[in-house]
Amino acid sequence: MLKKSIGFAALATLALAAIAVPAQAQYPERNITLIVPYGAGGGTDVTARMLARDLEAALGKPVTVENRAGGGGWVGWGALALAKPDGYTIGYLNVPSMYAGYLDKQYKRSETLESFTPLINHVLDYNVWAVKADSPFKSVKDVIEAAKKTPDTITISAFGAGSDDHIAILSIEAESKIKLITVHHKSTAEAKTAALGGHIQLLAANISEVAQEAKAGTIRILGVMAPERSRFLPNAPTFKEQGFNQVWAVSRGIAAPAGLPKDVQAKLTAALEKTLSSKEHQDKAAMLSLEPRVIMGADYVKFLKDNEASTKKLMGW
């Protein structure tokens, strides 16, 4: 009888313990923040807001875009790296732009690629050179010839040392043996205003950032740095067509802070893949002149590391 009493008491204790300990929470329980390391209106911001709306349906929770501009993108990337790795803060990694923050020793940043958990690449957005509609420049060749005649007089926008626009500028300067004056801006919107206002002569940007203005006729595309003509700018010649061997793009992908639990990583990646692969999302992307390019898992990590190595070599860091 004593043994039975002890057994019943033990079972009762276990039952009470089970009641007292709540079941493990299912991710996600609350809103998710999506950090954009640039200002509103730029290519990354437009990409992020499109993703946020569609990702909400896959996750069942609101996804809020938070712009953290400045520091060549590292105000945003720094905030992402320092966030709690619980899946409730994710953000965009823009490469090659982000590498400068830690490869260039003058910035003395402690974060590296290992400070993040890469999840999936979203888009590849090729670089372009554009001018306002009444610019005397009609082609890339016009710019190169003018720069050779009057060195250090032609101004062009970029977004921090080592950004995709900046690396493309350095590359064509080396190929053509010219020197442009690079003016760095915090956002594409700021650079567009400067170009349209005549404060800079050339706008360096990405296809998605200028396609609508090009179609409206407020700016003219001099060249696209893609292997072939873009379906979004079919009348704009590539740099290669004009005799310049330049192919450059920005990769915009999603990451979380380092240390993200594997189960949360799996759920996030699955939701992102489902969202990016859907016809609805692909159609929305096309309307915004964006070309989705899904790369995930170990392939995405390799993609980032390979880009890191090539950027380091080109920049001499």
Q: Which amino acid is at 278?
A: S
Band of pLDDT at residue 4, cut at 50, 70 and 90: very low
> What is the maximum span of the chain, computed from C-alpha positions, in angstroms?
106
Work out the average pLDDT over 30-50.
Answer: 93
Instruction: Please tell me whether residues 138 and 116 are part of one structural domain.
Output: no
Return the CATH number at 225. 3.40.190.10
Domain span at residue 87 reads 32-124+250-315
User: Is the confidence at residue 13, as pLDDT, over 70?
Assistant: no
> How many domains does the chain fold into?
2
Q: Of 150, 133, 197, 158, nearest to 73 (Cα)?
A: 158
Return the CATH number at 303. 3.40.190.150
Residue 36 domain flag: yes
**Of the candidates 242, 268, 287, which is a domain's last residue?**
242
Band of pLDDT at residue 238, cut at 50, 70 and 90: very high
DSSP state of 202: B
Contact 171, 177 (CB under 8 A): no
Band of pLDDT at residue 187, cut at 50, 70 and 90: confident
Question: Which secondary structure element, helix H or strand E, spans residue 205, and what is its range?
Answer: strand 203-206
Instruction: Please tell me whether residues 220 and 160 are part of one structural domain.
Output: yes
Higher local confidence (pLDDT), 70 or 75:
75
Work out the average pLDDT over 14-36.
Answer: 70
Residue 194 domain flag: yes
Residue 73 domain flag: yes
| H helical segments located in the chain | 2-20, 43-59, 74-82, 100-103, 140-149, 164-176, 188-196, 207-216, 262-277, 279-287, 297-315
pLDDT, one tens digit per residue, over 80-115 is 999 999 999 999 999 999 999 999 989 889 999 999
Is 0.85 topped by the overall pTM? no
Residue 7 CB contacts under 8 Å (≥ 6 apart), including other chains: none
* Strand pairing report for 249-257 and 89-95: antiparallel
Instruction: Please tell me whether residues 197 and 148 are part of one structural domain.
Output: yes
Instruction: Please tell me whether residues 207 and 237 are part of one structural domain.
Output: yes
Residue 14 domain flag: no
d(CA 110, CA 181): 30
Contact 51, 34 (CB under 8 A): yes
